[in-house]
Chains A and B, each alone.
Chain A
């Protein structure tokens, strides 16, 4: 699994590779955590967060997943450290996250649909998403 930030003049574009679709969602969470790094834990130890989401198609489910992380970071100060589990079933996602309550350094405002991609190429799942920052 891997991710990289693609050059974009105004925003942040994220490219993702993974061996499975669930792995790609996990990698997206790790990439998001990297964007909000520098957070200092302000709570007592790691916290667990469960997420359950639905969307009418898988690429939109990726947007919903990252949008949920944006919300948790902004409202709760939650920064994911580890994705314990991701289950995809049709248009539904269930996930378990571990992380810390801290001070996200550089909050993503939103997750756009611009250039949104999620597809399988041979044995590799590839995704692309642009954040508004």
Chain B
């Protein structure tokens, strides 16, 4: 009998170990134990989440593609492949390399499908910048993304950055990659065809990252723990060569299947490729290119060295494929072949060190976890508006909100990222969604990622619904039809019923809302155990969404374009301040419930905006989100620094608190601007879709002026708005 310390130190429970004994009908070898420990880790095996992930819709209005490691949609003859993945724990320990390898890993998931990576987005969350360690994390993560993304030549075109106390001690780094392929050129992560060679390509194998997924990603942080050796080191130059070599190899038509050696490295690739192909594999570890001496077989199987892949190719084509990888200065070595016995057989110098059924490794146990609504919500969800003091000077409040870390312009970050390489970026970062043209067609795709985790904390189901609705709204504002979703689900410890309740409700919120929008969830990732010694993070189901623009000439962005245009509000304002940025930033209150969401209203508003943009009637479109109507209008005024335009909003007649009108975060609102003679046409569209429509004012001048009735609430020079919105992040970082 193996000592419990051994398997427990690898992250396996007593029950899981007994299960392994039952499967093997004998004691596992060290290598087998290591293999089970990584394949049955939360990160690879989705033990706690799988039951609920099954409820997500897998079909939608665009034909969905669901692969082993990524998913996508079909658009004419093209496949748009995309996925978002977390690299939270490594980034918390070593922000630069953690973020860099997160980017590297997600790019590999895309090009191993045969798609050329064309864009990256990142959703980042940290504790408040006032704490020195959070500043270190934030600047380190940005540095890691620029270090990797810029060199590898994939533009970072969008994303989101939030700061909240709940991320103290556990930051979130979610990276999303989009790739394009001809639809017939896609490759799966499968090995089949008796006797077909299994080839190892890319970097050599070292001891870096051993146990990254089982030890690091599948447990929460405890005070004083030293986990840095489990973080991998990235080499974007090698990855760039690997992209080119892999796509060239796939192009020969001789590649049967291919998979990135990411989490759980060679273990994951051998067992999952064999399992997905209903085959077996016989591997000789001595053939694995190495960068360190005297590695034990289990170390080779567990290593998470970066920029490596396993490829199954057609027999007889070994030399042709090797030549391509050699040309790019990469390793390529045949390390085994496909067998028909369904077993993963691992040899070291001919001696068998592991022999396990591939299916048994990949069918990790599924746990049905208990869940319970947290008690604290009963109190937190109650918000007595009467107890929130009404501010005297709304101008000051607006300026403070614009300068707040979550709303402020993020140019300090995205100007460090090459967001133009590839010459596809038609709408640059800083608008509601990034837009990429599809060369050779007149279409474009738009991409965004969204999640307001404060909403999810106070109401997980509705918060997740809003994340989907807002992502769709952002795409619509760029002129895109929402098409498909990837989700990156960041939560606390699933063994805590309160955490699991958050998870379950968020997944249900995503599933239900995607069904209403008729869009599929084509790929995703779950990251549990996001807890610091003090507490769990806010539940954060980040939604990455792709949309389709049918005519690239009809894209739209958020900034006002012309003086004298009419400003239109689609949707309407409710008196709701719960969970708002305003309450948090100004009153230091996190309470109430997430704003209401009426999906029928949401769709009416989105359809109106889409049709108006599609018909070329509209000059700008912007979603109202954090900071409400006032912040959104301010952004419309100043977000093009070469051409800032003021506005006079003088047709609002709401009987409600002024702070709720200005800063409340009612959903389903879009601000449009259009030439005066287009107003009636837009109104007719709104009428047809039954979307609330109101001309609320006019663009022009050097001031943003907002009145409710005849009462002036906001009167500010656009230069002041711009200064607060534009300059504050840099000031916070560089002083």
Task: Check if A and B associate.
Answer: no
Interface residues of A (CB under 8 A from B): none
Which B residues form the contact surface with A (CB < 8 A)?
none
